[in-house]
Amino acid sequence: MDDLKSKYLDLIGSAADEATLEDLRVQAVGKKGEISLKMRELGKMTPEERQVAGPALNALKDEINAALSAKKAGLADAALDERLKSEWLDVTLPGRDRRQGTIHPVSQVWEECTAIFADMGFATAEGPQIESDWYNFDALNIPGHHPARAEMDTFYTHRAAGDDRPPHVLRTHTSPVQIRSMEEQGAPIRIICPGRVYRADYDQTHTPMFHQVEGLAIDKDISMANLKWTLEEFFTAYFGTKVKTRFRASHFPFTEPSAEVDIQCDFSGGTVKVGEGDDWLEVLGSGMVHPKVLQAGGIDPDEWQGFAFGMGIDRIAMLKYGIPDLRAFFESDLRWLKHYGFSALQVPTVHGGS
């Protein structure tokens, strides 16, 4: 019996896994195991022999069962240690950078304009980028023979051969949206129309597509004074500093009288500083809406009057962020935009490094 004991305790001690342990359990204390067989032999013994052998066998069985459970627990601990070693997680590592996008500066300025004018009671209106020549030109008092049509470097769409109707155009300004709004809602009206506009022009200061925001306020007694206040209020909010404006007489077919508007700035330091100094920078065109334009929009010019203005979003974005070349926005010259701090343009890596 001592042989049996040392044999199984040795085997259990050196078992490498739970499966081996289970085989040993069956061999030793299973129903047909060695100890069970020995217990069956008790019946053939004399009572005296049985009194010694019985308790000894039971004790051996208990001892082997105890060794089995102890070893099993030991193996489980070792397995857990092994897992903890291989599946460790360093919670002190810095987090991985995420790919980050930002809103394009033109879109930021677009939204900012919308918000500033909204605070002054102007709703935002949008409309089609491909327009009939009526909405883009005729309704704005620019008839077919008018030099402004040629001056505008318009992109025309094609008509089929034999189709004599005038071609549609890529809108050259967002004024058509204002005509449509006049038709739809009538007077009084206070709207701004931000949007993409197109002109066949390309150099240092022009791109074929650019962004414009036009404004329109029509009521019983709107005047140039209201226009001046509105624009000064806008520029002061937009540049975050008091900005003076200067009105210079001008001419547009759709306004009478018309004025070009300059904002106060300082060119002396090599950069443009808005709201300081004695220099002036032209930023927009404006005037009182021409009676013929009111009429084209279905509004009675004997009863209503109003101001209108138009300015370039790209241009005022460049002024605010100090970007010297308009094409930086469109030609994806990442160096420029990075230089000016537009982090959206930092190229993300596979691992999200910055």
- Contact residues toward ligand 2NL (CB under 6 A) are 175, 178-179, 214, 216, 252, 254-255, 284-287, 289, 293, 308-312
Q: How far is the CB of 175 from ligand 2NL (least distance, A)?
A: 4
Question: Closer CB to ligand 2NL, residue 33 or residue 285?
Answer: 285
Q: How far is the CB of 181 from ligand 2NL (least distance, A)?
A: 8
Question: Closer CB to ligand 2NL, residue 163 or residue 203?
Answer: 203
Q: How far is the CB of 272 from ligand 2NL (least distance, A)?
A: 18
Cα 300 to the center of its chain, rounded Å = 44
Q: How far is the CB of 119 from ligand 2NL (least distance, A)?
A: 21
The C-alpha atoms of residue 270 and residue 279 are separated, in whole angstroms, by 13
Q: How far is the CB of 287 from ligand 2NL (least distance, A)?
A: 5
Question: Closer CB to ligand 2NL, residue 154 or residue 178?
Answer: 178
Instruction: Write the DSSP assignment of 91-115 as a string of letters.
Output: TTSPPPPPP-----HHHHHHHHHHH
Question: Closer CB to ligand 2NL, residue 246 or residue 338?
Answer: 246
The C-alpha atoms of residue 98 and residue 353 are separated, in whole angstroms, by 8
Question: Closer CB to ligand 2NL, residue 24 or residue 191?
Answer: 191
The C-alpha atoms of residue 144 and residue 137 are separated, in whole angstroms, by 8
Q: Which two tokens stand for residue 309?
A: 């203005």
User: In degrees to the nearest 10, what's the CA dihedral of 119, 125, 126, 130?
Assistant: -130
Question: Closer CB to ligand 2NL, residue 194 or residue 287?
Answer: 287
φ, ψ of residue 289 in degrees (nearest 5): -55, 130
Q: Which residue has the tokens 């359990």?
A: 25
> Which residue, 143, 192, 140, is CA-closest to 171?
140
The C-alpha atoms of residue 20 and residue 35 are separated, in whole angstroms, by 18
The C-alpha atoms of residue 149 and residue 136 are separated, in whole angstroms, by 10
| Residue 10, Ramachandran bin (φ over 0: left; ψ between -120 and 50: alpha; else beta) | alpha
Q: How far is the CB of 291 from ligand 2NL (least distance, A)?
A: 11
**252 class by beta-carbon count within 10 Å (0-12 exposed, 13-18 middle, 19+ buried):** buried
Question: Closer CB to ligand 2NL, residue 168 or residue 171?
Answer: 171
Q: How far is the CB of 293 from ligand 2NL (least distance, A)?
A: 5
Q: How far is the CB of 337 from ligand 2NL (least distance, A)?
A: 24
Question: Closer CB to ligand 2NL, residue 33 or residue 195?
Answer: 195
Between β-strands 279-289 and 305-312, what pairing exists: parallel, antiparallel or unpaired?
A: antiparallel
φ, ψ of residue 346 in degrees (nearest 5): -75, 125
